[in-house]
Structure 1
């Protein structure tokens, strides 16, 4: 069976240079090939240049999707940096929904050959890739997690990710990421309404991180900025600033103004999942 490796970059494939750790060609490919089960054949799609995941965005998600489509039926391992792993997990989970593909994301906090977590994560990814089933998963720190609702909750230790419950993604309206201006914004106490209005003026749509189960300040200028943006045809999708629990519109009077503006209820969605939903639907 063919196994497709998509190597985007990230810590897992870095090596020592005179200036410190940097991406190194061939590191991940060689490590994965040495671990292949008997009878498996490796096909590799390697990003050029290799990327720190802080630079990964919609065009790179499209490149991953194109590579997956070019290898029908093959299980896929994607090696990727951890900083934007949650965004890529949400992007691929939604874009591939209903297509029957089996994709395993993998990264590490310490590079291969540095006595850290990389080898164990890669071993888990290979085992998972050859298991039956479909969906997008993350192999990390001994756990196989559904990738549609990942949260990177730790910046240093190996136990870096949690998977938060998400509703099963429906079929997307489109399966590639168009050139649109979408961003995540957060409410905060004392936020100037003019700043929010200026940000929304530059965007085609936004994810808005609101308080608790769905509340916002009772500031007519802030609410007016949201109302005007929605009236102009821009979609604003709200998610909670809390890691778990999601939104329940109507549970607090302090949220009434927010929902009256036409802001969408993101429910249980993570900011990453909501951002992808705006792109694809």
Structure 2
């Protein structure tokens, strides 16, 4: 078996220092190597410097994709911090759609050697590489989760992730991430239309987190801002602020004004998945 480890950083590869937990080179690579069956063809791509996942973004996704594609016959494990795991899961799931690859993401809430979840998550990730089922998955808390719709629902507990079912993506129009300016914006009661206009003025497109099954405040100024943004060529893609259930345009009259602006319906997509959809399609 050929196994490729891409170690980006994160809690799993940290160790105690005089200033607290910090990344330690070699820690994850050694832990993986000692768990592999004899005869495994093992290689590792290690980010230098190792990253806190808060710093992971499009250029790092491109590096992961380039590395995966340069090892076409290898099973892949990516170790990664938990804070942006959902973004990376969506990015790799959509960018690799149709390429028949199996990628296992892995992280932890406590580092290796701290009597926490790291060792178990790593063992699960390694065992998960034995399957030929294509897709991107997260090995975490004894579960193998589809990574296209991850939600980090707890900031402290070991069982930190859920997976919301997503529509199987068609192969994307592009396979890597460009430098467009995209963001996730949240509607909240009383948000000024001028603030939304200012934010959209600096963006090429945005995911808009709206209420419930697809409603928004009946603010004529805000709706004009959204309609003008769409008319100018900016893509706006709506998601629900609820974790599950998705959007149902037309279910409530309170959403009629919003949907008349031309905003796109993301259905059951998570905010992370909708953002990646904008980037690749």
Task: Using structure 2 for the length normalisation, give the TM-score.
Answer: 0.99
Partner of 1:152: 152
What residue number does 2:22 align with?
A: 22
Extract unaligned runs of 5+ from structure 2.
none
Q: Output one character per residue of 1:202-243: Cα deviation in whole Å (capped at 9) or x when no partner.
A: 000000000000000000110011001000000000000000
Q: Secondary structure at the match of 1:171?
A: coil
Determine helix, strand or coil for the equivalent of 1:86. Answer: helix
Cα RMSD of the aligned pairs, angstroms, is 0.5
What is residue 248 of structure 2 aligned with on the other side?
248
Q: TM-score, normalising length from structure 1?
A: 0.99
**Distance in 2 separating the partners of 1:127 and 1:37:** 10
Q: What residue ranges of structure 1 are gaps of 5+ in the alignment?
A: none
Secondary structure of 2:72 counterpart: coil
Query: Superposed, which structure 2 residues align to 1:1-281 within 5 Å?
Result: 1-281=1-281
Following TM superposition, by how much is the alpha carbon of 1:2 offset from its aligned partner in structure 2, in angstroms?
1.3
C-alpha separation between the residues in 2 aligned to 1:251 and 1:20? 51
Give SS of 1:35's match.
coil
Matches of 2:118 and 2:58, distance apart in 1: 26
Single out whichever of 37-46 and 224-233 deviates more from structure 2: 37-46
- Shift of residue 32, structure 1, vs aligned partner: 0.1
How far did 1:38 drift?
2.2
Equivalent-residue separation in structure 1 for 2:214 and 2:127 (angstroms) = 40
Deviation of 1:108 after TM superposition, in Å, equals 0.1
**Separation (CA, whole Å) in 1 of partners of 2:250 and 2:40:** 54
- Stretches of 4+ moved more than 3 A in 1? none
Q: Any idea what the Cα deviations from partners look like across 1:141-183, whole Å, max 9, x if unmatched?
A: 0000000000000000000000001111110000000000000
